[in-house]
Amino acid sequence: MQVRKMTCTIGAEIFGVSLGDASRDAGLAEAIKEQLLEHKVLFFHDQNITRAEHAAFARYFGDLEDHPVAGSDPDHPGLVQIYRNDKRENYENNYHTDGQWRETPAMGAVLRCIECPPVGGDTIWVNMVEAYKNLPQEIKDKIDGLKVKCSIEHSFGAVMPEEKRRELGRNNPMVEHPVVRTHPETGEKILYVSSFSTHFANYHTPENVRFGLDKTPGASMLLNYLISQASIPEYQVRFRWKPNSVAMWDNRCTQHYAVQDYWPAPRKMERAAIVGDRPF
Ligand code: SIN
């Protein structure tokens, strides 16, 4: 296996590996996991693998999860189809960590390109360990112990008719996560707010709030400031897709953004998201 770093902070290309082989070889999958923990997102080229191999490789790291809005391949449950055809859809271009609206968000994902536009449709990943590390100390002190509420209803649900949106919310009630989570395997501290985060759960205390204005708009300004850290280029890597390119990311410590500049060209991706633990 050859490894080539793509930036100083995040991402590496992996050469000399077939993910089809890795789906049948625990030792190889383990070696890939080691690289994932180090680089946070890995890129593989020319992976002409079957859907069964794609799902089996991802399943080596844990169970796969379906998505309540995006459908899965009927023959391969857990292989979510992210297909954009000639209809303009505008809900994907926002920095996010997958499934932050779940009690146990995905630990990672393996995304394969089936079809991509001739130009455009790149994906950006962000190192949220770096984002936390570089926060000013006074902000780190302020967010220590803060919890954030996260919801799918206001994101994926926003484009739905009202009754469907509310049903999505009833089936996926809002959850609460630490604003700073700890990586369960590396121990790194991670800034854990994204476009799924709606408000702080426990900001309104006498230390934080002298007058109402310290909470409204004070708390939302702080949340927006934290969310905006994902857009700092120094924490990012940007990947240009080709059919059969694969990206695998550690979803606990990264965010991503699918650049939506290619419409009306089609773009078809298939994603196996791996069930994770409750953030702490
Ligand atoms: C995702 O948001 O999980 C998919 C990213 C992409 O389609 O590039």
Look at residue 228 in the predicted model and tell me its pLDDT.
98
Q: Minimal CA–CA distance to 56: which of 32, 36, 83, 76? A: 76
pLDDT for res 230:
98
Token digits for 221? 């300004």
State the closest ligand 1 atom to the C-alpha of 273, by its place in the atom list counted from 1: 3
Atom of ligand 1 nearest to the CA of 247: 8
Q: Are 51 and 75 in contact (CB under 8 A)?
A: yes
Residue 76 appears among annotated catalytic residues: no
**Which residue type sits at 107?**
M
Bridge partner residues of 123 (DSSP): 239, 258
pLDDT above 80: residue 92: no
How many A from CA of 258 to the centre of ligand 1?
A: 5
Which of 85-89, 170-174, 186-190 shows the lowest per-residue confidence on average (mean pLDDT)?
A: 85-89
Length of the chain: 280
Work out the average pLDDT over 75-82: 92
Q: What percent of the chain has pLDDT over 90?
A: 89
Q: In what order do the strands lie in the sheet with 197-200?
A: 175-178, 147-150, 197-200
Chain segment 12-63, per-residue pLDDT in tens: 999 999 999 999 999 999 999 999 999 999 999 999 999 999 999 999 999 9
Q: Tell me what pLDDT residue 264 has.
A: 87
> What distance in angstroms lies between residue 31's CA and the mean position of ligand 1's atoms?
24
pLDDT tens-digit readout, 174-214: 999 999 999 999 999 999 999 999 999 999 999 999 999 99
Q: List the end-to-end C-alpha distance of the chain, in Å, as a whole number.
A: 33
pLDDT, position 90: 55
Question: Ligand 1, closest atom to CA 92?
Answer: 2
| Closest CA to ligand 1's atom 3 | 98
Distance 163 CA to ligand 1 centre (A): 27
- Strands (DSSP E) along 128-243, which ranges? 147-150, 175-178, 180-182, 189-191, 197-200, 236-239
User: Dihedral through CA 75, CA 107, CA 115, CA 55, nearest 10?
Assistant: -30
Identify the active-site residue in 76, 112, 252, 256.
256
**Per-residue pLDDT at 93 exceeds 90:** no
Helix intervals (H) in the chain: 19-22, 26-39, 51-59, 128-133, 137-143, 162-171, 212-215, 218-228
With a cut of 70, say whether residue 87 has pLDDT above it. Answer: no
**Of the listed 39, 96, 177, 267, which one is catalytic?**
96
Q: What's the whole-model pTM score?
A: 0.96
Q: Which residues, in sequence order, are bridge partners of residue 267? A: 84
pLDDT for res 88: 61
Phi, psi of 168 (to 5 degrees): -60, -40
CA–centroid distance, residue 24 to ligand 1 (Å): 26
When pLDDT is cut at 50, 70 and 90, the band that residue 159 belongs to is confident
Q: Which residues line ligand 1 (CB under 6 A)?
A: 82, 92, 98, 111, 123, 256, 258, 269, 271
Closest atom, ligand 1, to C-alpha of 96: 2
- The tokens describing 217, both together, are 């708009």
156 against 247, higher pLDDT? 247
Task: Provide the pLDDT confidence category of residue 91 given band limits of 50, 70 and 90.
Answer: low
pLDDT at 71 over 90: no
65-74, 115-124, 128-137, 164-173: least confident range: 65-74
The encoded tokens of residue 51 equal 């859907």
Q: Give the chain's mean pLDDT.
A: 95
Q: Which distant-in-sequence residues (6+ apart) come within 8 Å of 65 by Cβ? A: 78, 99, 102, 106, 273, 274, 275
Active site residue 96: yes
Question: Comparing 82-86, 214-218, 220-224, 227-231, which segment has the lowest mean pLDDT?
Answer: 82-86
